[in-house]
Amino acid sequence: MRLIYSLGILLYGSILRLIAPFHTKARLWTEGRKDWYLHMSQTVETGQKHIWFHFASLGEFEQGRAVLEEIKKKYSDKKIIITFYSPSGYEIRKNTNLADYVFYLPEDTAENAKRFTDLIHPEFVVFTKYEYWYYYFQELAQRQIPLLMISAIFRPEQIFFQPYGGFFRKILECVSYFFVQNEESLHLLKENGFRNVGITGDTRFDRVIQLPLQKKEIPEVAQFVADHPVLIAGSSWPDDEILLHDLAGQYSEWKMIIAPHEIHDKHIQSIQELFPAALRFSGFSAYSPEVIRSAQVLIIDNIGMLSSLYGYGNVAYIGGGFGAGIHNTLEAATYGIPVIFGPKYHKFQEAKDLIECGAGFSISGTAELQTVFAEFQQLEKRVFAGEEARKYVRQRAGATAVIMKYLICKKLL
């Protein structure tokens, strides 16, 4: 199985290198790892120990951010290295002030794991939610370097828990401690012989409860919104935008702000084809006051504003539920507004919880979206759902404090 795993890693990297000239993300992935050892060895201070945080992508960075911030605030003398697997995380956070160095994670091979670990001398390592790399984990275990999984979540259908999953369970055996999000994850691990596990919840709650306090005022959005009710569509994809188009025609008194997951020209153009009269944020200064007043839709064609945009909304629509899975619902919920999303939400504990407490609403098409939205025309129902969302977020904060206590008790800090 190890041979098959290694061949899979090799094949995946080879495919990305092959398509890199024609695919932006593949090009960033490959170029970011080119001559990685030379680049890192010339950058990292020789002989210095580091705390190593790894994130699959941007969402996982935001998930682990509260722990990063706490360590940076209380232990400013510690050196921190962040690695990302995905370009969508690295390219956006490569200049974060929460780390001394930010790199792409080299491919998971025995040689790469050894050279990388030799180079950075980790005191301890934190992985967030998922990503389990055989050679890196084995290298850390052999060196007895503590490895923590925070905000981890497991499901019965994962390969770790299948009869043929022995090789992958060996990867889990390298983890020093699992801080899991829910009871199901706890029971799955314990049923498979793991006792180094405890429920802390999701560290994202500690991050998102701060967002309303840190909200950036956006004058252009305030002018566009004026005194209208507002739907904020966050991280939308084409399937989501088609539904929003159908909805907009039914509720002309509502303003709609669409912040798509991808902002390349082709995607923005497709949104403009659905909403010909829509304004673009990048060109806002060119619009007259009359045009701004009459416009129903504003397209956000940049990155980094979404967590503040939700503060202008009365209802949020979270994209991705008709694709691989929904995006971040908590950034909207923390502002005390109800959240709507597509049918692919079952991998996300917070989405299931929001539905259960009456703050989240899953829809499978236009008819269901319009039914849910019709309910929100009643102010009391909208306010009730929003308050339940806010309460849910506040009640689940605190995972970071538990993790920090563990690090201190184990004398890792």
Residues designated catalytic:
60
Q: What whole-number distance in Å separates Cα of residue 347 and Cα of residue 352?
A: 9
Is the Cα torsion angle 106, 107, 113, 115 positive or negative in sign? negative
Q: What are phi and psi of 122, to 5 degrees?
A: -70, 135
Please give the single-letter amino acid code of residue 363. I
Is there a contact between 137 and 127 (Cβ–Cβ < 8 Å)?
Answer: no
Tell me if 255 sits within 8 A of 247, measured CB to CB. no
* Sequence-ordered list of residues with C-beta below 8 angstroms from that of 49, at least 6 positions apart, any chain: 79, 121, 122, 123
Query: Cα separations (Å) of 145 from 65, 73, 119, 250, 362?
Result: 22, 23, 14, 58, 42
**Would you say 357 and 396 are in contact if contact means Cβ atoms under 8 Å apart?**
no
Which candidate, 289, 238, 228, places its Cα nearest to that of 264? 238
